């Protein structure tokens, strides 16, 4: 990688300082902050332009006391000087006064003067022996004060013991320091033979324009292939996405959407669909009955009578009926609708004249144990066609077209049974992913026992089936519960356009 202008400046500064220099000096020379220099130096070293060497050094530093002694002299020196001026012999009190020493300083001065044999006390008076002009301690003090602080160098000058004494007396402090030395490599030297690189900028700023500096800089090229940061914008839940897709398909095919209540009377959920009142599907284990309130209103007398008679003896439908005593209390019971056929039949009762092409995608409830295949609350897709002269072929055609639009090319129909249709079919689609046929919708033509009481005089094609299974097929999900667990990672990872 090439050099940035600032990096080139750093190499240049080291070069001008003799090819190797302390970081602080380099930063000063290059006119940049030490912290900036150090981070650049790491990168330059990684790329082989320079070597960063760490050097541990010890530095002597004067303490406050040391600074004072530097000005005034060591107490013992002051003592000797005063003693000299007093003629070489005097009482300690007089020397103290002459030298301007405090009590404490006098004690120190006497201690050292005697220890160094510069003076002694005899019969209460202080006598001068002999004192050198200067001592190694005093020399070291001066050197340190004149910025010659490197302990190694001072030791070389024979001042080792002096330093120890000064440190012990609290006159100096020894500080550990790591200095960073920057040293140019061959590669670094070679880089300096090239002209200073032109500054590269990635953003044109007002500052660049106003100052005219834009003329000097080079603009960085955009890498349009660099991967972007993933963004997770709000989106519909996959089940809602499939519902929308289904809606669109039905609308394209000329259907209108209808909706109906989630809480239904058993009348619409079962009786109107010619499902006998003792049908096993009505048992508690399959249908949720409402605890409060328990019963709802039945529709008009005429319709209820027609349904009742149809169940009991077939009424005018040509059927024998189920041959039992139909009870209105049973029909009044409120349930959570178990299928959306409750909604289409309700609609049919209000719209008995053709053409009726309607669909519904909505919630239904069943008292199921929840497992990987079952939920107690799920969705059904439902549709009916009431039209003049329609028949089984139309039903199969409409379903095949619907599935095709959903992406399933292969469809098969099986004979089946529902209490409300004749003939009845089960439709299956082929899933290439699973390599298997999957049941989707039950279908059929409503029996006369269903449509005649409603006053419908033309054939009604009907079909309905689970939505979740379809979503699972589309998304490759094996456990139905996954659809509603709202695992954020999974939801985010789903393709927007499967």
Interface with ligand PHE includes 443 (CB under 6 A)? yes
Whether the Cβ atoms of residue 408 and residue 439 lie closer than 8 Å to each other: no
459 is a site residue for ligand PHE (CB under 6 A): no
What part of residues 203-232 is at the interface with ligand PHE (CB under 6 A)? Answer: none
> From CA 80, how far away is CA 92, in angstroms rounded?
11
Give the one residue of 464, 475, 477, 483 binding ligand PHE; rule: CB under 6 A: 464
The reply on whether position 366 binds ligand PHE by CB under 6 A is no
Q: Which is nearer to ligand PHE, 265 or 341 (CB)?
A: 341
By the 8 A CB rule, do 257 and 382 touch? Answer: no
Residue 341 and residue 359 in contact, taking contact as beta carbons nearer than 8 Å: no
Nearer to ligand PHE, 75 or 464 (CB): 464
Compare residues 182 and 460 and give the one whose CB is closer to ligand PHE. Answer: 460
**In the complex, minimum distance from the CB of residue 422 to ligand PHE, in angstroms, rounded to a whole number:** 10
Strand pairing category for 356-365 and 256-257? parallel
Site for ligand PHE (CB under 6 A): which residue of 60, 348, 399, 462? Answer: 462
- Tell me the three state secondary structure of residue 21: strand
Strand partners, 430: 437
Choose which of 271, 463, 472, 483 interacts with ligand PHE (CB under 6 A). Answer: 463
Contacts of 193 (CB under 8 A, 6+ apart): none
The answer to whether the beta carbons of residues 45 and 181 sit under 8 Å apart is no
Considering CB under 6 A, how many residues would be counted as binding ligand PHE? 10
User: Shortest Cβ distance from residue 478 to ligand PHE (Å)?
Assistant: 22
- List the x/- string, 157-186, binding to ligand PHE by CB under 6 A: ------------------------------
Q: Min. distance of Cβ 466 from ligand PHE in angstroms?
A: 8
CB of 236 to ligand PHE, least distance (A): 25
Identify whether 423 is preceded by a cis peptide bond (ω within 30 of 0): yes
Which residues, 6+ apart, have CB-to-CB distance to 263 below 8 Å? Answer: 290, 296, 334, 335, 336, 337
- 3 state DSSP class of 192: coil
Within 381-420, which residues bind ligand PHE (CB under 6 A)? Answer: 418
Which residues lie below 8 Å from residue 11, measured CB to CB, with a gap of 6+?
3, 44, 49, 50, 184, 188, 191, 192
The DSSP string of 26-62 is: HHHHHTS-HHHHHHHHHHHHHTTSEEEEEEEEEEEEE
Q: Does 77 bind ligand PHE (CB under 6 A)?
A: no
Nearest to 464 by CA among 435, 410, 426: 426
Between 447 and 474, name the residue whose CB sits nearer to ligand PHE: 447
Site for ligand PHE in 323-352 (CB under 6 A): 339, 341
Among 135, 269, 317, 421, binds ligand PHE (CB under 6 A): 421
- Do the beta carbons of residue 192 and residue 8 sit within 8 Å? yes
Gap between the Cα atoms of 249 and 408, Å rounded: 13
- The dihedral over CA atoms of 31, 35, 37, 41, expressed in degrees to the nearest 10, equals 170
Residue 442 sits in the site that holds ligand PHE (CB under 6 A): yes
CB of 445 to ligand PHE, least distance (A): 9
> Is residue 469 a contact residue for ligand PHE (CB under 6 A)?
no
In angstroms, give the least distance from the CB of 465 to ligand PHE.
Answer: 6
Q: What residues line the site for ligand PHE (CB under 6 A)?
A: 339, 341, 418, 421, 442-444, 462-464
């Amino acid at each position: 990688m090439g050099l940035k202008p600032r990096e080139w400046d750093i190499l240049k500064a080291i070069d001008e300082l003799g090819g190797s220099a302390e970081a602080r000096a380099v930063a000063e020379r290059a006119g940049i902050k030490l912290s900036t220099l150090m981070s650049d130096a790491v990168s330059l070293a990684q790329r082989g332009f320079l070597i960063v060497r760490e050097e541990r050094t010890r530095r002597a530093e004067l303490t406050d006391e040391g600074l004072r002694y530097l000005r005034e002299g060591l107490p013992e020196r002051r003592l000797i000087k005063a003693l000299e001026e007093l003629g070489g012999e005097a009482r300690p009190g007089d020397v103290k006064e002459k030298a301007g020493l405090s009590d404490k300083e006098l004690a120190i001065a006497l201690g050292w003067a005697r220890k160094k044999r510069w003076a002694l006390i005899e019969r209460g008076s202080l006598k001068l022996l002999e004192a050198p002009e200067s001592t190694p301690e005093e020399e070291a003090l001066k050197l340190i004060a004149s910025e010659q602080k490197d302990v190694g160098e001072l030791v070389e000058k024979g001042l080792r013991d002096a330093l120890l004494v000064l440190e012990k007396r609290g006159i100096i402090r020894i500080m550990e320091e790591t200095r960073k030395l920057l040293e140019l490599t061959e590669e670094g030297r070679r880089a300096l033979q090239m002209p200073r690189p032109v500054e590269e900028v990635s953003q044109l700023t007002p500052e660049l324009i106003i100052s005219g500096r834009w003329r000097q800089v080079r603009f960085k090229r955009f890498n349009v292939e660099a991967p972007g940061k993933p963004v997770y914008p709000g989106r519909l839940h996959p089940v809602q996405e499939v519902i929308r897709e289904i809606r669109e398909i039905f609308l394209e095919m000329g259907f209108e959407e209808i909706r109906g209540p989630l809480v239904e009377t058993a009348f619409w959920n079962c009786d109107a669909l010619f499902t006998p009142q003792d049908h096993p599907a009505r048992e508690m284990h399959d249908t949720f009955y409402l605890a409060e309130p328990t019963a709802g209103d039945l529709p008009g007398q005429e319709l209820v009578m027609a349904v009742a008679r149809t169940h009991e003896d077939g009424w005018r439908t040509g059927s024998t009926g189920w041959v039992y005593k139909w009870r209105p209390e049973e029909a009044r019971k409120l349930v959570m609708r178990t299928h959306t056929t409750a909604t289409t039949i309700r609609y049919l009762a209000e719209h008995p004249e053709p053409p009726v092409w309607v669909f519904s995608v909505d919630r239904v409830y069943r008292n199921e144990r929840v497992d990987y295949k079952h939920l107690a609350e799920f969705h059904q897709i439902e549709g009916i066609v009431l039209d003049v002269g329609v028949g089984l072929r139309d039903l199969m055609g409409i379903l095949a077209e619907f599935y095709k639009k959903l992406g399933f090319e292969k469809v098969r129909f099986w004979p089946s049974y529902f209490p409300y249709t004749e003939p009845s079919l089960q439709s299956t689609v082929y899933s290439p992913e699973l390599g298997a046929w999957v049941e989707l919708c039950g279908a059929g033509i409503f029996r006369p026992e269903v449509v005649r009481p409603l006053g419908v005089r033309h054939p009604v094609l009907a079909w309905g089936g689970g939505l979740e299974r379809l979503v699972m097929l589309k998304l490759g999900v094996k456990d139905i519960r996954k659809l509603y667990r709202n695992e954020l990672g999974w939801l985010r990872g789903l393709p927007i356009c499967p």
